[in-house]
Amino acid sequence: MTAPLSLCVYCGSRDGADPAYAEAAEAVGAAIAERGWRLVYGAGDVGLMGRVARTAQAGGAETFGVIPTHLLQREVGKRDLTTFIVTETMHERKKVMFMNADAVVVLPGGAGSLDELFEVLTWRQLGLHQKPIYLLNVEGYWNKLLELVDHVITSGFAGDDIRGFLTPVDSVDALLAELDRA
C-alpha cells in the first residue's frame, strides 16, 4: 500500500481582500480530507493557512504543520495538528515542509508565500527536485507573477524551462485534475 499524497500548501497568513481566496482555501482543505491526503503547511491558525488547516481537520485529514519559534504567537501556532513541529528558523521551516511533501500548491499570499514559492522554484531549476508546483490562480491572482516569470525568460535571465516548472490552475477542480494526472 502506498502512502497518501502529502500536499504542501503555501498561502497567506491573512484572508486577502477577495472572499474567493478564503473560499478556495477552504475548498483545498476539504479536497485534501475527501481524498485522504495529508496537509503539509506552515502550522498557523490565521488567514488562508488557518482556513485550509481547519477545513482539512474537520474532514479528518492528517495535518503536518511546521512553524518557527518567532511566529508561534503572530501566526497563532495551531497545536492540535496531527504533527506539530517548531523550528528555530524560517529556512528550517521551509525545508521541513518541502521534504515532507510530494507536491506544492501555492494559493494567494504575500511576501512569505512568494519566498516559499521562489525557493522551491529555484531548487527545481537547479535540478534538486522534480516535485510539481501548482499556482492556484484564484480570480487571476497570479497573472502578474506569471507575466514577471515570462519577462525574466525573455530578458535572458532564465530558460524557457522555468515556466514549465509552474503549473497555473484557475480552480480547485482544475488543481485536483492536475494532481490526478501527476
* pLDDT at res. 2: 63
Whether residue 44 lies inside any domain: the answer is yes
Whether residue 150 lies inside any domain: the answer is yes
Whether residue 27 lies inside any domain: the answer is yes
Structural domain tally of the chain?
1
Residue 42 corresponds to which cell in the numbers above? 506552515
Q: Which domain holds residue 68?
A: 6-181
- For the chain, residues with pLDDT lower than 50 are 1
Residue 141 sits in a domain of what CATH number? 3.40.50.450
Whether residue 1 lies inside any domain: the answer is no
Question: How confident is the model over 65-82, as pLDDT tens digits?
Answer: 999 999 888 777 888 999
* pLDDT at res. 71: 85
- pTM for the whole structure: 0.94
Whether residue 159 lies inside any domain: the answer is yes
Single-letter residue type at 171: S
Describe the crossing of helices 47-58 and 19-34 by its angle, rounded to 10 degrees: 30
